[in-house]
Amino acid sequence: MQIAVAGKGGTGKTTFCALTIRQLVSAGHKPILAVDADANANLSEALGIPAPETVGDIIAEMAGDRRSQPGGMSKDRYLSYRMHQAMAEGDDFDLLVMGRPEGAGCYCHANNLLRGFVSELAQNYRDIIMDNEAGLEHLSRKTLGRADVLFIISDATVRGVQTAARVAELASKVGLEIGQMGLVVNRAREDSLPALEGLITELGLELWGTIPFDPDVEAYDLTARPLYDLPLDGPASQAIRRVLEKGTGYFCG
């Protein structure tokens, strides 16, 4: 299954991705490919593995300096070789960090090759989780090709929900191939959701669940401990399990 996660910055998308991967691995859904497509890439820290070289760096290298490509090797083969070098490998999941290409040069051909690489790579994994920014850059480029499920993450604020609605509208406007999408409200207090329910309905969003404030998440962040190591029975982890059941059908029964 190909799962995409999006929302405005600071809503907890990366936390959601890390705990989603943890829940899926614990249920035997492995191997998993994690794709960090957020401009503020920090999924590697949440997963507790070293940050790899970014795809953006590789594409910029190929677009801007042809001398970087060894003689006798086609661009397709060289990109595939460099992409494999950029993968951070874990026991149950691998991580690919997209980043953004910088500098002059044409990226069209390299981006087309990248789409082919990710499509080929996807066949080796049980699930793919892509952490996106609100702009859905890599989804709109069709880097992932499609998404079976899009989780749109918001904090418990009016602005967060309004941004979530714009993400849903953008996904429809650019013609993304998405099976279904739903809203997840993160760090929700019991007294905050009733004030947002009318707005959520008015904006045409389908609420798939809420994730409560979890002091362990805050404590792990403050001490730079990987969120992937959070207990499976913690409040945030259990809420995410219920959200995954709603959005993906996993864990049902």
Q: Which residue has the higher pLDDT, 145 or 153?
A: 153
* Distance in angstroms between the alpha carbons of the first and the last residue of the chain: 19
pLDDT tens track for 150-203: 999 999 999 999 999 998 988 887 777 889 999 999 998 877 788 899 999 999
**Confidence grade of residue 117 (pLDDT, cut at 50, 70, 90):** confident
What are the residue boundaries of the structural domains of the chain, listed by start? 2-248
The most confident of the ranges 18-22, 106-110, 162-166, 247-251 is: 18-22
Q: In the prediction, which pLDDT does 111 show?
A: 60
Specify the pLDDT at position 78.
Answer: 82
Preceding peptide of 31 cis, ω within 30°: yes
CATH match of 2-248 with 3.40.50.300: yes
pLDDT at 112: 67
User: What is the rounded distance in angstroms from the CA atom of residue 69 to the CA atom of residue 222?
Assistant: 42
Q: What pLDDT, in 10s, does the model give residues 209-231? A: 999 999 999 999 999 999 999 99
Q: Is 126 left (phi over 0), alpha (psi -120 to 50) or beta?
A: alpha
Identify residue 211 by its one-letter amino acid code: I
Per-residue pLDDT, averaged over 139-153, amounts to 81
The single residue listed with the structure tokens 């399990």 is 241
Instruction: Please determine, for residue 103, whether its predicted confidence score (pLDDT) is greater than 70.
Output: no
Between 42 and 192, the higher pLDDT residue: 42
C-alpha to C-alpha distance for 103 and 106, rounded to whole angstroms: 10
Classified as helix, coil or strand, 131 is: strand
Average pLDDT across the chain, whole number? 85
- Mean pLDDT of the 28-55 span: 89
Percent of the chain scored above 70 by pLDDT? 86
Give the whole-angstrom CA distance, residue 222 versus residue 195: 30
Sign for the CA dihedral angle at 89, 90, 93, 96 comes to negative
Give the residue from 228, 181, 251 showing the smallest Cα distance to 15.
228
